[in-house]
Amino acid sequence: MLIGVPKEIKNHEYRVGMVPASVQELTSRGHQVVVETNAGEGIGFSDDDYRAAGASIAASAEAVFAEAEMIVKVKEPQAVERKMLRPGQLLFTYLHLAPDPEQTHDLIASGATCIAYETVTSDKGGLPLLAPMSEVAGRMSIQAGAACLEKSKQGRGVLLGGVPGVEPAKVVIIGGGVVGSNAARMAVGMGAQVVVLDRSVDVLRRLVAEFGTSIQTVYSSKASLEAHVLSADLVIGGVLIPGAAAPKLVTAEMVKQMKPGAVVVDVAIDQGGCFETSRATTHQEPTYIVDDVVHYCVANMPGGVARTSTLALNNATLPHILALADLGWQEAIRRDKHLANGLNVHNGQITCAEVAEALGLEYAPYNA
């Protein structure tokens, strides 16, 4: 198979779909890989590094899309990239379609087959291609939130861990999954007062087993959520419903009642966000203010630590890339029901039930 790796073009996105080591795995099996020039430059991989791994270098994204049978990316294709997709071409990347009707309609119109990292599952019920970026984003949420609490960033002027004689900041984490547990690790390490809310008692038990009395776990109800959000210095939104739009758990009215200078970091923004006041921002302009509350809603948070993120993502995606290349996508998803769950768009139809429901579109299940 001929696999193409274009350079990412989203604002301040330096990650790349495949690193040279991943390319070498494919070329050693007889596949061809074409990489857009300077695709890995932002994380320290040169065109010569890719050539040494057996790739050819294309002068433009247009050349990559025109040649490749499978496109491997990181972020959802931007409008100019979607125009380059063609019927029968395979796209393997993050899509996050539920809150993005424009992208969804473009992918339907393209005729391409689109497999989304974020809906590929595992035999343990997890999301293995989303997990590494959720780990990164969860950890980054605390350092981003801590910075936003500084007075110069319009925050409360509070040090997350406090100092002797001065109490630490209160960090409230909504959702105890991969994002939440990683955020908790960082917040505990920085000495904050940490509260994690979740609706799964099993998740709360797991957090207690890991953190003991270093955190407070609370069953998430409307009453408990409101009480803790209103008393927080920093709130992390880490709620995810696979494939679907994130629920708006923190209302605009609750935000209005938060402490002036408090900070919210909405890690769920790729799926629409779990704060009613959230809208996607970029690394270039990461924050905005609503009712004196600082909102950090960067839609590609892991792109800020692009080298770490790319390496972690490649570790997870490479086995699937190899399966798709070796077997072809039809046979690969026939053999692997978890990879099949990643199929979101095929032959001009939505093949993911959650996406179809979120956007009010017809669901057309694919039968392998």
Active-site residues, by number, are 96, 270
DSSP conformational letter for 363: B
Task: Please give the C-alpha separations between residue 46 and each of 41, 55, 110, 159, 231, in angstroms, as whole numbers.
Answer: 5, 12, 31, 40, 48
> Cβ–Cβ contacts within 10 Å for residue 108, how many?
18
> Cβ–Cβ contacts within 10 Å for residue 223, how many?
8
> Would you state the structure tokens that stand for residue 229, as one six-digit string?
């959000």
> Cβ–Cβ contacts within 10 Å for residue 63, how many?
17
Could you give the strand order of the β-sheet that contains 193-198, starting from the edge strand earlier in sequence? Answer: 215-219, 193-198, 170-174, 234-237, 263-266, 293-296, 287-290
Cα–Cα dist 14/310, whole Å? 9
State the angle between helix axes of 178-189 and 131-148 in degrees (0 to 180), rounded to the nearest 10. Answer: 40
Question: Residue 221 forms beta bridges with which residues?
Answer: none
Strand, helix or coil at 2?
strand
